[in-house]
């Protein structure tokens, strides 16, 4: 992304979820991240997790990750960009919760609460999805739900339904160098944490 544009534009912070269960799943995730890098500054990216499908169970397991970006794009404009990436990689919408080569969702945007015809932020099912919460907490351990004001850590610990989520590929360098405009953002510990109820696994 052009450095001059970043410096002169108001930056919005977003957390995105990426998932794939068709074709070369890891390649699909990496291709999507490369496309996102063309219009946003990627601040951090979680490890990759393999997750049990939700809703329609007769399909392959997903690979999922969460990435944090900053961008001058407004939420609706970002959604259009992300949908274009999905189409470029080859996503064909079939039925709800069906298999897909790539799925990109906007999970959060700082304290923003938005509900429009095309987009809801925070993602309406974020607080029910361990496969989103676990990678989110890996890169932002103290993240708070802007609606309930609860930490997402406490939300994860109290989830009644937990699909299988297992570490698939560790990202040993989850954080990229932050842009100077973001230097005011408080640094957060990314030490190994144990999430009760998530199969007793360390993340």
Q: How far apart are CA 133 and CA 46, in angstroms?
A: 11
Mean pLDDT of the residues in the chain:
82
Q: List the CATH code of the domain at 7-182.
A: 3.30.70.560
Confidence (pLDDT) at 203: 37
What is the C-alpha end-to-end distance of the chain, expressed in Å? 31
Q: Stretch 181-187: mean pLDDT, rounded?
A: 33
Proportion of the chain above pLDDT 70, given as a percent? 75
pLDDT digit string (tens) for 14-64? 999 999 999 999 999 999 999 999 999 999 999 999 998 876 666 789 999
Find the range with the poorest average confidence among 113-122, 129-138, 147-156, 191-200: 191-200
- Write out the two tokens for 80: 């259009």
Q: Is the per-residue pLDDT at 99 higher than 70?
A: yes
Residue with the bigger pLDDT between 177 and 160: it is: 160
Helix (H, G, I), strand (E, B) or coil at 189: coil
Residue 85 clears pLDDT 60, i.e. is over it: yes
Report the distance separating Cα 153 and Cα 148, nearest Å: 13
The torsion region of residue 71 among left (phi > 0), alpha (psi -120 to 50) and beta comes to: beta
Asked whether the beta carbons of 18 and 47 are under 8 A apart, the reply is: no
E strands in 125-195: 165-169
Return the domain boundaries, the chain: 7-182
Residue 21 contacts residue 60 (beta carbons within 8 Å)? yes
């Amino acid at each position: 992304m052009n450095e001059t544009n970043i410096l002169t534009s108001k930056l919005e912070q977003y957390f995105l979820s990426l998932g794939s269960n068709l074709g070369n799943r890891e390649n699909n995730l990496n291709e999507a991240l490369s496309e996102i890098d063309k219009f946003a500054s990627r601040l951090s990216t979680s490890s990759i997790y393999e997750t049990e499908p939700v809703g329609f169970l007769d399909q392959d397991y997903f690979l999922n990750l969460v990435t944090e970006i900053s961008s001058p794009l407004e939420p609706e404009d970002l959604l259009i960009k992300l949908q274009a990436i999905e189409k470029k990689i080859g996503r064909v919408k079939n039925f709800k919760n069906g298999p897909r080569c790539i799925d990109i969702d906007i999970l959060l945007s700082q304290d923003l609460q938005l509900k429009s015809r095309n987009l809801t932020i925070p993602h309406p099912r974020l607080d029910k999805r361990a496969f989103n919460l676990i990678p989110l907490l890996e890169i932002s351990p103290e993240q708070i739900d802007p609606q309930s004001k609860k930490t997402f850590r406490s939300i994860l610990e109290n989830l009644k339904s937990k699909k299988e989520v297992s570490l698939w590929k560790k990202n040993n360098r989850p954080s990229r160098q932050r842009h100077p405009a973001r230097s005011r953002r408080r640094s957060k510990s990314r030490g190994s944490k144990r999430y009760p109820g998530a199969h007793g696994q360390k993340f």
